[in-house]
Amino acid sequence: MSRVIAALKQKMQKEEAMKIAEKKGDWLWNIVFCKSPLSEVRLIYIEYVLLDIETVSSPTLMNKIRKKASQPVRKKLKVLVNGSTGGVSLVTDQNLQIEEIELNDEAEMQNKAFDDAEADKRAKVLAHKITHRAMGGMHEAEIVGRLSIYRPFWVAFYGDMKQGNRVRYITIAADGGQHRRAR
């Protein structure tokens, strides 16, 4: 039996992931993985939630006094919520390539562990931080769209995969996406 899911387009092949995994990341990971050989590389789909958020901010008191802005300011943001860790990130690439993929039973999928209320709360906090930093004042965030998608990752396992052994791993985004901290 197979399932059809909405997923971000996979841009990295297994050979590219193997090259990255053999390097074992940066110098710190080389120290951690020094004695562990690469044992396996697997493709895993992790569920994410893509939220469309609209923020509305009323004009600040100073703007009202100076009569610069009397209308509320509306901004639209896209936020991606990780279903396994609950981490949120702002989507800066507005051209996400989402495609329908048919998976068989052997394909590994990890469904979200957070309920929608927790994902909404975390996304609204991020939207408030971003709009407050850019424009100041208080903002109200409202979720206007929700889409559940799966994101592909190559997971490289190091060491013997036996019960009782500690298996180390690194994840490699197969969709070409990057996570960067906001400054």
For 67-85, give the DSSP string.
Answer: TS--SPEEEEEEEEEETTT
Better pLDDT: 35 or 21: 21
Contact 53, 77 (CB under 8 A): yes
Mean pLDDT of 43-63: 85
Is there a domain that residue 139 lies in? yes
Is there a domain that residue 90 lies in? yes
CA distance 14 to 152: 12
Is there a domain that residue 181 lies in? no
Q: What is the pLDDT of residue 72?
A: 77
Q: What is the pLDDT of residue 70?
A: 67
Q: What is the pLDDT of residue 33?
A: 66
pLDDT greater than 60 at residue 182: no
The residue among 110, 173, 150, 176 whose CA lies nearest residue 4 is 150
pLDDT greater than 70 at residue 180: no
Is there a domain that residue 183 lies in? no
The residue among 174, 177, 150 whose CA lies nearest residue 15 is 174
Contact 119, 141 (CB under 8 A): no
Domain hosting 83: range is 3-173
Average pLDDT over all residues of the chain: 83
Q: What is the pLDDT of residue 147?
A: 92
Q: What is the pLDDT of residue 1?
A: 61
E strands, 104-180, in order:
108-110, 139-158, 168-173
Is there a domain that residue 178 lies in? no
Mean pLDDT of 47-58: 89
Is there a domain that residue 182 lies in? no
For residue range 147-167, what is the model confidence (pLDDT) as tens digits? Answer: 999 999 999 888 777 787 777
Is there a domain that residue 40 lies in? yes
In the chain, the number of structural domains is 1
Q: What is the pLDDT of residue 104?
A: 79
Dihedrals φ, ψ of 144, to 5°? -110, -10
Mean pLDDT of 92-118: 83
Q: What is the pLDDT of residue 183?
A: 47
The residue among 38, 48, 40 whose CA lies nearest residue 79 is 48
What's the gap between Cα 59 and its chain centre?
32
Is there a domain that residue 54 lies in? yes
> b/e per residue, 64-94, with b = 16+ CB within 10 A?
eeeeeeeeeeebebbbbbbbeeeebbbeeee
Better pLDDT: 86 or 31: 86
Please, which pLDDT band fits residue 54 given cuts at 50, 70 and 90?
Answer: very high
CA distance 39 to 113: 28
Handedness of CA 86, 92, 6, 75 (dihedral sign): positive
Please, which pLDDT band fits residue 68 given cuts at 50, 70 and 90?
Answer: low
pLDDT greater than 70 at residue 49: yes
